[in-house]
Chains A and B, each alone.
Chain A
Amino acid sequence: MTKNRINAHPILDVSKKKRVSFYWNKSKLIAKKDEMISSALFANNIKIFGHHHKDGSAQGIFCANGQCAKCSVIANGVPVKACMTGIKENMIVKSVEGLPKLPDGDKNPKVSSIEHISTDVLIIGGGPAGLSACIQLEDHQINAIMVDDKDELGGKLVLQTHKFFGSQEDSHAGMRGMDIGRMLAQKVEEASHIDVWKNSTALYVFDDKKVGILKHGVYKIVTPKVILNAAGAREKFLTFKGNSLSGVYGAGAFQTLVNRDLVKPTEKLFIIGGGNVGIIAGYHALQAGIKVVGLCEALPKCGGYKVHEDKLKRLGVPIYTSHSIVCANGKESVSSVTIAQIDKNFQIIEGTHKSFECDTILIAVGLESVSEFTDEAKSAGIKVFAAGDASEIAEASSAMFNGKITGLKVVQYFKPDAKQIPDTWYKKAAILKSHPGPVQEIEALSQEEGIFPVIHCKQEIPCNPCSTVCQEGSIQMIGDPIKGRPKFDGKCKGCMKCLAICPGLAITLVDYRKDKDTPIVFLPYEISNIEVKKGDKISLVNIDGNPLGTYPVLGARATKDSNQTQIVRVKVPKDIAKKVVAFTIQREKTSQKLTHKIPLDHIQDDEVVCLCERVTAGEIRKLVKKGITDINQIKAISRAGMGPCGQKTCGNLLGQIFRAEKIAREDITNNVRRPLFVEVPLGKFANGGK
């Protein structure tokens, strides 16, 4: 049962939790107490949770966020979403084969009236933006209710095991995302003006200026004066053959399974998309002991920060730029992926196809704002603000700062005389959300004595903790104090703080003091689940992952200041000392191309657009070619978007098909979004829990 659990992790606490038994179809299995059913099943290597009633296709995890219903199972007789339902001792869980049967249920279900609650501010979403805004509201004594659909506040921050970019002063740079999340969450939970509702989902902002919220399974109606939408973003998906196989899902779901639930959902992973989300997911996979076969990015360059990309490359993960996924192969579950090179018009170049063995394909091709609460509030005539990804897609560090500004805007709405938002805040907000600059070569230091840091930071990104942490004041940002590139000039005591805080793991220390010809290099290392100890021979690489030779380790340990980052020492010839940045941990074999042909029965033909209703791209294209430009009509005929997720995934894909068919945006009529945000049992509206 431990096979698919993460039992060693460099950052996360993997200590044992209480175990419970449960039943899956006919077998008795072990789960961790209170974990989600989906994670309990994955931990037991069960990844197919049932089969779709329309075409018998395998169903399992997709969003892991309660938004779709692909992970539905029958728990103690009732159809539920496995990713949102905690497992209980002796729970009988069954797969959903076709349409589920409605349980008989209680002969006399309780009915009682629904509680109505008024508040000044309703904040939807307790992630980086919502929490930061809340802190402003608390500081100015404004009453608010914060709702979040998870068990723990922090949003996606709590899934981030890596150290954060940005600046220390504005966004806690250098701290791990999960620690920032918990710190902000604690502040908000202790706040006296903020009523925190966890496990609470906002369902809709109704026309009569009321918001329906399912709070811990009890329906409440909230009347706010102001709504702050900080509901974050959702991941975009892609159409390709085999895209609905079990094992194709988003990076968010992956991070939830791995970093929240400590489940190892895959042995071999392939990632589509070279933005920060995809690259970081790869890094998290390595930390969890998962092999990363490769990552492909359609553009000639990865969109994510170069330091993130380099981290992955150096560890031995190949990155294929100007490559696109062609198909996912497998019978019900992914067994391999095929990618190919594309030209500047995104057309596949014949003869460049390559396939790799993998059991999971992560789709990380961008995010879109969860904007519906903003739109609904506007339509109802409620004053509404949006912050973080719900307003504009950016890094979490930017969301925190943007949340702070938006929080103060809400304060001003209630208290016009309150603190004005300084101009410098807006400037800083712009810097924090700025895209990475071009890659520049680094001026080599000529120094070959003493001890000093070598900074391998080749790209302007909003990140400066190395300069703030240096007690000697020897690291300066060239140009902008946050976005500029850092440069070492001056004294160094060898405290290692810059090395330890750098989120990009792009700073090493070189010590010539004992031996000028073969100095000691200090390297940051965060995949310590793969242990490196004295005497091990490691393959050193430069910033881009190019090999520099194999050398023995002198020692490896975390320090008091390094916040779980290990510092690995190696002794190398002086000609490579300033080039060494890291060492490869993943063997080349992992990323080898398949030499045999994909078995015929593993080749899928369907590109599914609407996963809920199983509508293919072919069906949609046929309708578009017929001249239909009203998405409502496409929906009416094909049922695309009529499933449980409410077009959260296929909405964007439909747009892509229209674009591919060269339909002008102004000719397309968008469909109407309606309640509810997620499906809710009818009985919840009948019983206010009294």
Chain B
Amino acid sequence: MKNFDVIIIGAGSIGVPAALSLAENKIKVLVIDALASPGQGQNKKAIGGIRATHSDKGKISTCQKSIDIFSTWKHIHGDDIGWIQNGYSFPAYTDKDAHKLKKLMKIQKSFNLDINWLTPEEYLKIVPGINTKGLRGSTYSPEDGSASPLLAINAFYFKSIEYGAQYKFKEKVHAISIINNQEIKVKTNKGEYSAQKVINAAGNYARNTGKLIGLDFPVQPDSHEGAITEPVQRFFGPMIVDLRPSQDPETEDSANFYFYQNNEGQVIFCLTPKHLIKGTASEATSVFLPQVAKRMVDLFPKLANLKVRRTWRGQYPMTPDGFPIVGETKEFPNFINAIGMCGQGYMLGPGLGELLSRIVTCDLTEDDLDALKHFDLYRDFSSTEQFK
């Protein structure tokens, strides 16, 4: 049986950057994944947006670190991961939304985030052609950005291998036995491995992993569909998040939707259903395109001529309150969770990777402890994230 310092279950948005940070710190790490290569679960379904402009200390500081890593990756390591600092915007079409967004901006500013309120005229300059009917204005956070999930995870993966991380693909974890606080055994369909610590980064399957040690983690995946278009010359700047739930009876079953133009010039978009579709089914439905197209064309008429190339369906591994679960478990301090990313695993990943590395090496700072409070498994889950 091979021994490691840390075994990570899941080579996805969290597992791979965590392995990168651990291996960089000379920790002997093994990543196990049931699929054939890194990022084949929900990571590749991510649309690529990366923002620090959240509403809580935990996600804000983690994503600030992530932005640091994404934005400097090419400069430091040489590979292009498609990073562009195109910013995020949340346009408001009702007074209520404008009020809500402005209120949140105050909190965000208190964390030194660069976020401003644009008048409709100012917004039209960065999104020429946007529907201005009823537009009250928009938030704009120019330091947020986007990168290719596909390129980023592979860049992190190969770099982690350079640092000594090991990977086992097409291996399914069947059993985890925690012998004492020093040793955990992980049994897969192909072999058995032991480590001092295990990180549960199993995304959609985080709950199943918990069950292997008799714990129940409140993570439930629900479906979202996304799509990508042909590439065209850049025609707008930031990610656009339309917070409004649909009012139209035909598209009523949709909450917010969002889209941006990536480094290739392709527009990527995604829609949140109003009534959650639970489970891990990943085949496309006929509902998505007509639903999202109507709303996108209404918001940004120019998009009508843009050709849709591909669509897909993925999951948000949701927690009851919309915040992740990160940290040690009380029952087994050497079993660490990094789960329930609620659709933000990609942007949280690199920052969380470093945080997880500090959890493993017991080097947590005051700030870390502060951030981790928001991700505590033992918190009260009854409040909800208001600004997803």
Q: Please give, as numbers and ranges, the residues of chain B lying within 8 Å of A108 by CB-CB distance.
A: 301
Q: Which residue of A lies closest to B155 (CB)?
A: A637
- Interface window among B34-42, B115-123, B318-326, B345-353: B34-42
Are B297 and A207 within 8 A (Cβ)? no
- Residues of B within 8 A of A (CB-CB), count: 48
> Closest Cβ of chain B: how far from A96's Cβ, in Å?
10
Q: Please give, as numbers and ranges, the residues of chain A lying within 8 Å of B309 by CB-CB distance.
A: 643-644, 646, 676, 679
Are B235 and A102 within 8 A (Cβ)? yes
When A204-B284, A632-B40, A676-B308 are in contact, do A100 and B232 touch as well, CB less than 8 Å?
yes
**Can you sample 21 A-B contacts with CB below 8 Å?**
A79-B305, A99-B233, A99-B265, A100-B232, A101-B232, A113-B250, A211-B286, A628-B37, A630-B169, A632-B40, A636-B150, A637-B151, A646-B309, A669-B170, A679-B307, A679-B308, A679-B309, A681-B305, A682-B308, A683-B297, A685-B290
A212 to B309, CA, bound (A): 14
Are A212 and B286 within 8 A (Cβ)? yes
Q: Does B285 interact with chain A (Cβ within 8 Å)?
A: yes
Q: Please give, as numbers and ranges, the residues of chain B lying within 8 Å of A114 by CB-CB distance.
A: 290
Are B44 and A632 within 8 A (Cβ)? yes
Q: Which residue of B lies closest to A670 (CB)?
A: B36
Which residue from A107, A204, A211, A674 sits with its C-beta under 8 Å from B301? A107
Q: Please give, as numbers and ranges, the residues of chain B lying within 8 Å of A682 by CB-CB distance.
A: 229, 293, 296-297, 303-308
Q: Please give, as numbers and ranges, the residues of chain A lying within 8 Å of B312 by CB-CB distance.
A: 674
> Closest Cβ of chain A: how far from B315's Cβ, in Å?
14
> Closest Cβ of chain A: how far from B96's Cβ, in Å?
24
Q: Please give, as numbers and ranges, the residues of chain B lying within 8 Å of A628 by CB-CB distance.
A: 37
The B-contacting residues of A in range 99-115, CB under 8 angstroms, are: 99-109, 111, 113-114
Q: Which residue of B lies closest to A669 (CB)?
A: B36
A79 to B231, CA, bound (A): 11
> Closest Cβ of chain B: how far from A77's Cβ, in Å?
9
A636 to B170, CA, bound (A): 18
When A105-B301, A111-B297 are in contact, do A676 and B311 touch as well, CB less than 8 Å?
yes
When A105-B305, A685-B290 are in contact, do A206 and B151 touch as well, CB less than 8 Å?
no
Give residues in A with beta carbon < 8 Å to B: 53, 69, 78-79, 98-109, 111, 113-114, 204, 206-208, 210-212, 219, 221, 379-380, 628-630, 632-633, 635-637, 642-644, 646, 669, 674-676, 679-688
Main secondary structure on A side of the interface with B: loop
A682 to B301, CA, bound (A): 10
In this complex, the member of A78, A628, A643, A676 whose beta carbon has the largest number of chain B beta carbons within 10 angstroms is A676
Q: Please give, as numbers and ranges, the residues of chain A lying within 8 Å of B153 by CB-CB distance.
A: 636
When A633-B37, A633-B38, A683-B304 are in contact, do A221 and B310 touch as well, CB less than 8 Å?
no
A103 to B129, CA, bound (A): 11
When A628-B37, A679-B230, A683-B297 are in contact, do A637 and B306 touch as well, CB less than 8 Å?
no
Which residue from A106, A632, A685 sits with its C-beta under 8 Å from B289? A685
> Closest Cβ of chain A: how far from B163's Cβ, in Å?
17
A100 to B302, CA, bound (A): 14
Name 17 extra pairs, CB < 8 A, besides A207-B284, A208-B285: A98-B233, A99-B233, A99-B265, A109-B297, A212-B289, A630-B169, A633-B37, A633-B154, A636-B37, A644-B230, A644-B307, A676-B308, A680-B308, A681-B306, A681-B307, A683-B293, A686-B304
Q: Does B287 interact with chain A (Cβ within 8 Å)?
A: yes
Are A99 and B235 within 8 A (Cβ)? no
> Closest Cβ of chain A: how far from B55's Cβ, in Å?
31
Give residues in B with beta carbon < 8 Å to A: 35-40, 44, 129, 150-151, 153-154, 169-170, 229-233, 235, 250, 265, 281, 283-287, 289-290, 292-294, 296-298, 301-312
Are A102 and B308 within 8 A (Cβ)? no
Q: Which residue of A lies closest to B169 (CB)?
A: A630
Q: Which residue of A lies closest to B230 (CB)?
A: A679
In this complex, the member of B129, B292, B301 whose beta carbon has the largest number of chain A beta carbons within 10 angstroms is B301
Q: Please give, as numbers and ranges, the residues of chain A lying within 8 Å of B235 by CB-CB distance.
A: 101-102
When A113-B250, A207-B281 are in contact, do A102 and B40 touch as well, CB less than 8 Å?
no
When A99-B231, A636-B154, A674-B311 are in contact, do A78 and B284 touch as well, CB less than 8 Å?
no
Are B311 and A675 within 8 A (Cβ)? yes
Q: Which residue of B lies closest to A204 (CB)?
A: B284
When A208-B286, A212-B286, A636-B150 are in contact, do A102 and B297 touch as well, CB less than 8 Å?
no
Q: Please give, as numbers and ranges, the residues of chain A lying within 8 Å of B310 by CB-CB distance.
A: 642, 646, 674-676
Q: Please give, as numbers and ranges, the residues of chain A lying within 8 Å of B265 by CB-CB distance.
A: 53, 99
Q: Please give, as numbers and ranges, the residues of chain A lying within 8 Å of B306 by CB-CB distance.
A: 102, 681-682
Q: Please give, as numbers and ranges, the residues of chain A lying within 8 Å of B38 by CB-CB distance.
A: 633
A219 to B235, CA, bound (A): 26
How many contacts between A and B, using CB within 8 angstroms?
157
Are A103 and B305 within 8 A (Cβ)? yes
A630 to B306, CA, bound (A): 31
* CB-CB nearest 8 A-B residue pairs: A683-B304, A685-B293, A207-B283, A636-B150, A633-B37, A630-B37, A669-B36, A630-B36
Q: Which residue of A lies closest to B79 (CB)?
A: A637
A100 to B292, CA, bound (A): 24
Q: Please give, as numbers and ranges, the residues of chain B lying within 8 Å of A632 by CB-CB distance.
A: 36-37, 40, 44
> Closest Cβ of chain B: how far from A444's Cβ, in Å?
62
Are A206 and B37 within 8 A (Cβ)? no
> Closest Cβ of chain A: how far from B268's Cβ, in Å?
12
Are A102 and B285 within 8 A (Cβ)? no
Which residue from A635, A643, A644, A681 sits with its C-beta under 8 Å from B304? A681
A53 to B230, CA, bound (A): 12
> Closest Cβ of chain A: how far from B153's Cβ, in Å?
8
When A685-B289, A685-B293 are in contact, do A100 and B151 touch as well, CB less than 8 Å?
no
Q: Please give, as numbers and ranges, the residues of chain B lying within 8 Å of A212 by CB-CB distance.
A: 286, 289
Q: Please give, as numbers and ranges, the residues of chain A lying within 8 Å of B232 by CB-CB distance.
A: 79, 99-102
A632 to B293, CA, bound (A): 27
Q: Please give, as numbers and ranges, the residues of chain B lying within 8 Å of A629 by CB-CB distance.
A: 36
A379 to B233, CA, bound (A): 37
> Closest Cβ of chain A: how far from B73's Cβ, in Å?
15
A101 to B36, CA, bound (A): 38
Which residue from B40, B44, B230, B294 sits with its C-beta under 8 Å from A686? B294
A293 to B9, CA, bound (A): 60
> Closest Cβ of chain A: how far from B13's Cβ, in Å?
13
A636 to B149, CA, bound (A): 9
In this complex, the member of B44, B281, B296, B310 whose beta carbon has the largest number of chain A beta carbons within 10 angstroms is B310
Q: Please give, as numbers and ranges, the residues of chain B lying within 8 Å of A688 by CB-CB distance.
A: 290
Are B304 and A109 within 8 A (Cβ)? yes
Q: Please give, as numbers and ranges, the residues of chain A lying within 8 Å of B290 by CB-CB distance.
A: 113-114, 219, 221, 685-686, 688
Q: Please give, as numbers and ranges, the residues of chain A lying within 8 Å of B294 by CB-CB distance.
A: 111, 685-686
Q: Please give, as numbers and ranges, the residues of chain B lying within 8 Å of A680 by CB-CB distance.
A: 307-308
> Closest Cβ of chain B: how far from A340's Cβ, in Å?
37
A380 to B282, CA, bound (A): 11
When A99-B233, A204-B284 are in contact, do A106 and B308 touch as well, CB less than 8 Å?
no
Are B298 and A206 within 8 A (Cβ)? no
In this complex, the member of B129, B231, B286, B309 whose beta carbon has the largest number of chain A beta carbons within 10 angstroms is B286
A113 to B153, CA, bound (A): 39
> Closest Cβ of chain A: how far from B290's Cβ, in Å?
5
> Closest Cβ of chain A: how far from B248's Cβ, in Å?
9
Q: Please give, as numbers and ranges, the residues of chain B lying within 8 Å of A106 by CB-CB distance.
A: 301, 304
Q: Please give, as numbers and ranges, the residues of chain B lying within 8 Å of A69 by CB-CB distance.
A: 230
> Closest Cβ of chain A: how far from B19's Cβ, in Å?
16
A204 to B313, CA, bound (A): 14
Are B283 and A683 within 8 A (Cβ)? no
Are A630 and B287 within 8 A (Cβ)? no
A212 to B287, CA, bound (A): 10
> Closest Cβ of chain A: how far from B158's Cβ, in Å?
8
> Closest Cβ of chain A: how far from B142's Cβ, in Å?
23
Q: Please give, as numbers and ranges, the residues of chain B lying within 8 Å of A379 by CB-CB distance.
A: 283
Q: Please give, as numbers and ranges, the residues of chain A lying within 8 Å of B233 by CB-CB distance.
A: 98-102
Which residue from B39, B150, B283 sits with its C-beta under 8 Å from A380? B283
When A219-B290, A633-B38 are in contact, do A686 and B297 touch as well, CB less than 8 Å?
yes
When A380-B283, A644-B230, A674-B310 are in contact, do A105 and B298 touch as well, CB less than 8 Å?
no
